[in-house]
Amino acid sequence: MTLFTKSPCQIIDQEINPYVDQWEAEGIFPAHKVFKILGNAGFLGVNKPVEYGGLGLDFSYSIAMSEELGNIRCGGIPMAIGVQTDMATPALARFGSAELKKEFLLPSIMGDKVACLGVSEVGAGSDVATIKTKAVRDGDEYVVNGGKMWTTNGTQADWMCLLANTSDGLSHKNKSLICLPMNSPGVRIARKIDKMGMRSSDTAEVFFDDVRVPCKNVIGREGMGFTYQMLQFQEERLWAVGNILTMMENVIRETIQYTRQRTIFKMPVLHHQSVYFRLAELETEVELLRSLLHRATALYIRGNDVTKLASMAKLKAGRLAREVGDSCLQYWGGMGYTNDVLVSRFYRDARLCSIGGGADEVMLSIISKYMDTVPKAPPK
């Protein structure tokens, strides 16, 4: 077990936040350097097995870590870290062979390798079942062809947790998760995508042209990839909620500080009832969301299916983040429209929460199915 040398707060204050503006301007941050610092401190595998460098704690500690990372003064870097810890590696840690864990999980936890997740494609985002990338068996190898879109960490990653079709069966039973080294012949980074927000996080479009991967690189059982990915999504969505909660708190707090000293009509902006009432409403909503997150996490740790609650939390987080960003930016006036303040960056970055990891409409569809309110097709 790793002994902490620095707290997350110290790492954020000393190793990350002083460089955020630079990395935002450059459109990328040094993932290997930052991840190695976090890995050395033990923060890339808090709920991963001790034998592979993790701390062996339960998932609530991962949520606590996600909340702490919300103190980074941008959304891109926490998102990239979350991909490493709670999006690309949960299935590997839970279902992967000892050999795969040693080759991919251990160095990811230690910060020696950067991971990315290959699920979304140009024509298949939230509708995971419709992906087209194929991995066809050829002896003891798969030959992978296709492409992935919106790949966080994609230009810097050492390996990808790839979801691909490994047979022609039913769309929910023909997919497998595969550990694919990104330096394999035939892997091509087509471009680094220019995004509205999350500027410091590199996002790539990746193509695979006859990429050969050993069949032993399959995580768990062949054909179970869709199920494994749905399980990964639950952790990803809860992690994202925890992370954006802290960001919303910080934006509200800084808005209070600014409006307290900024005057209009001979009184502080904050002293106008419409302003402090609205901030009180937003703070209340943030705390309610935190309660939902912690309830879902507690149930998840005890082995319950929290798909419905995780979807609710993700839906609410995306919508509330848009409310917080829009309302708080308004109170900053002209300053809120500049790139000099946190609220404008949050306004851009947080918009992704209602799109990435399952769009709001997909969350509503999942919730409706669990409520048994979706109209059923009439019998033929």
List Cβ<8 Å contacts ≥24 apart for 96-105.
96/179, 96/219, 96/220, 97/216, 99/216, 100/179, 100/216, 100/217, 100/219, 101/49, 101/52, 102/52, 103/179, 104/159, 104/179, 105/48, 105/52, 105/53
The pair of three-digit structure tokens given for residue 310, joined into one six-digit string:
């995780």
Inter-residue contact 328 to 252 (CB < 8 Å): yes
Cβ atoms within 10 Å of 130's Cβ, excluding its own: 11
Contact 88, 326 (CB under 8 A): no
Angle in degrees, CA 311, 225, 113, rounded to 5: 90
Q: How far apart are CA 54 and CA 19, in angstroms?
A: 27
Q: Are 82 and 239 in contact (CB under 8 A)?
A: yes
In contact, 186 and 211? CB cutoff 8 Å: yes
Determine the number of helices (DSSP H) and then strands (DSSP E) in the chain.
13, 9
Which residues contact residue 373 at a Cβ distance below 8 angstroms, ignoring those fewer than 6 apart? none
99 an active-site residue?
no
Q: Which residues contact 192 (CB under 8 A, 6 or more apart)?
A: 27, 28, 154, 155, 202, 203, 204
Is residue 146 within a helix (H) or strand (E), and if so which, with residue range?
Answer: strand 141-152
CA-CA distance, 364 to 360, in Å (whole number)?
6
In whole angstroms, what is the distance from residue 217 CA to residue 180 CA? 7
List the catalytic residue out of 236, 281, 283, 285.
Answer: 236
Compute the distance between CA of residue 186 and CA of residue 71 in angstroms, rounded to an integer.
39
Spell out the residues 6+ positions from residue 47 whose beta carbon is closer than 8 angstroms to its own: 54, 55, 56, 57, 58, 59, 61, 62
Catalytic residue annotation: 236
